[in-house]
Copies of this chain bind each other. A is one copy, B any other.
């Protein structure tokens, strides 16, 4: 199809200082895990976005010097010639696809945990890091020589970046990095010319950009990603106050070729990478809309906001809010988003659902994952392409049982590879339990997991037949179906007896009783009796807290109990923790963390504090925990209990088929696999990954198990950089 002409504006070139980007798509710097330590993964992950049409692709946030060491969190690094070599491969691939390569220059100031370099960061004043407070992270206050030294660090890092082939040097002036530490009164108590007045607080940023411009501006674009509102009131940067003042200064001083705008600081990163549970696309617009008018026609503005709709993108450009569409998560969910718009295939866009699983893996110190695009991070190490599926050499027929997300993904990939697939679903709609999930409060965007796959399956009709409402298949049905190979994707359910991690069934927990319910039952319409409802959350991800909100929205008095130390604990990784707590407080939901339910009766439950036993160990005995019991049990009156405690695979069909393996050959069934939750309940990204992987490796010798992947790491005997005895580059002024 041809591109819709109204989207043409998205494909105009934009001049950025000495460079020109081929279109208005800018893959904003985002964490992914490879850093400068896994160069193949880095290059191919970013390179895939270049291939998919993003005019600019960026590294992760990139530390400029060992003093800005975020380890154990993985930044990119441009510290030495090893980093130059590793990142230059990324630049090569970006250039091969006609994209510009950008690097975000990052100095952590007083926020560097430094657990690899063990160095200290320098900051405008000395304070306990609000990011890593309980890890005792402090920097030390810079004198004017330090300021010149750190500016030199940026310049030297910029030179290495240019050497690696980067086109755009973006200075992070957000996320509580050094430039915004100088800007914000809460971090800057200086009384010299770098503190106090706005002019003084912004001096560091201006001088830094001047130095970069002077040293590298002829060769590279010099830009900044500026946090126009830190959401901290007057102690931080407010959009209509210092926010616009900074933009005025940047324009007046002529120190940048482009400005990318964001909101929220590092501690409130979840307001920049806003999860869809709390932020709908474009939520930052009220904060950034003045930016463009201040910067004028010559300084392009990049704006983000989890934008996946080309119409919305065009509207923002037409409204003068921004010039270039920034995207981090949309580029993860669909590296080919620009190409699909360009080719008029808007319905093929795999839209980000805003679940923040991607960043949750970084927050755990790991490698990126994505619920929508499970090929992310696999481009190099497994050779996966999000849009290309190798044709199978043995195109047999495959029955896929169950059309939840895993079954849909498996059928989609198998169909794309040339298999003849029948996807059969007991219920009358696609989506499995995810249909229910996407009806819950705040989760409507999560339904894109289903709608994207539904669209793709409809385009694969030649290869995939979808049969809905066929009821549960029996083992006989499967064996006699006539398929050469079978994949079971029958999902999982919530336990009805309250068992959770560490805890067996709860006395009185029986979901056949009216006052005891599971999410599965609520999905199927079981009503919640009475006004007082208790949610028991042993899962810690979204289900417990979402049902708590659902109940509160229905006017019930809600008590939320979890065994974890914090409510919906996984929200710490998805950066929803703050807003989760704000929501619970606003809705008046009572919280008991570190508690569990001992017993459920009609009208009441008994709770216990989990740390009611004393810290001392008693002599070993038999039949009891060897600790002193200090009490700590109490009763609560409740009318209903919803058990969000743990799940089990729906695998009765699998068990029966396996026990009848001797009959497979007679029925011309070659093999049977299971995938997704029916193998093991998991986060959705993992379930979809598993299904995708199975389909992609369906003709490998042992398709039930993944093939090896490339492990990037030091091999003994391979060279190392630096070597022992290498000098430290002196960046101090003489």
Contact, CB under 8 Å: A680 / B565: no
Indicate the member of A620, A622, A683, A686 with the most B CB atoms within 10 Å.
A620
Which B residues lie within 8 Å of A86 (CB)?
714-716
CA of A623 to CA of B88 in the docked complex: distance in angstroms? 45
Contact, CB under 8 Å: A128 / B501: yes
Contact, CB under 8 Å: A724 / B630: no
Judge if A689 is at the interface, Cβ distance under 8 Å: yes
Contact, CB under 8 Å: A647 / B582: no
Judge if A467 is at the interface, Cβ distance under 8 Å: no
Please give the count of copies of this chain that the complex contains. Answer: 2
When C-beta atoms are compared, the residue in chain B nearest to A360 turns out to be B135
The A contact surface, by secondary structure, is loop
Q: How many residues from A make CB contacts under 8 Å with B? A: 154
Report which of B133, B383, B569, B724 forms a contact with A134, defined as CB distance below 8 A. B569
- Identify which of residues 582-634 in chain A touch chain B, using a CB-to-CB cut-off of 8 Å: 582-586, 594, 609-617, 619-628, 630, 632
Report which of B566, B658, B709 forms a contact with A143, defined as CB distance below 8 A. B658
Q: How far is the CB of A307 from chain B (nearest CB, A)?
A: 17
Report which of B566, B619, B705, B728 forms a contact with A566, defined as CB distance below 8 A. B566
Judge if A477 is at the interface, Cβ distance under 8 Å: no
Which B residues lie within 8 Å of A613 (CB)?
582
When C-beta atoms are compared, the residue in chain B nearest to A583 turns out to be B615
Judge if A673 is at the interface, Cβ distance under 8 Å: no
Closest 9 CB pairs of A and B: A134-B540, A365-B365, A133-B501, A581-B611, A712-B714, A72-B366, A128-B646, A579-B615, A72-B365
Which B residues lie within 8 Å of A269 (CB)?
none
Judge if A530 is at the interface, Cβ distance under 8 Å: no
Which B residues lie within 8 Å of A128 (CB)?
500-501, 538-539, 645-647, 681
* Interface bits A158-187 vs B (CB < 8 Å: 1, else 0): 000000000000000000000000000010
Contact, CB under 8 Å: A366 / B115: yes
Judge if A525 is at the interface, Cβ distance under 8 Å: no
Which B residues lie within 8 Å of A578 (CB)?
611, 615
Q: How far is the CB of A261 from chain B (nearest CB, A)?
A: 12
Contact, CB under 8 Å: B582 / A614: yes
Q: Known contacts A128-B538, A232-B625, A625-B233; decide if A728 and B714 are in contact (CB<8 Å).
A: no
Q: How far is the CB of A586 from chain B (nearest CB, A)?
A: 5
When C-beta atoms are compared, the residue in chain B nearest to A616 turns out to be B278
Judge if A117 is at the interface, Cβ distance under 8 Å: yes
Judge if A727 is at the interface, Cβ distance under 8 Å: yes
* Interface bits A337-381 vs B (CB < 8 Å: 1, else 0): 000000000000000000000000100111101000000000001
Which B residues lie within 8 Å of A232 (CB)?
625
- Identify which of residues 632-674 in chain A touch chain B, using a CB-to-CB cut-off of 8 Å: 632, 645-649, 658
Judge if A5 is at the interface, Cβ distance under 8 Å: no
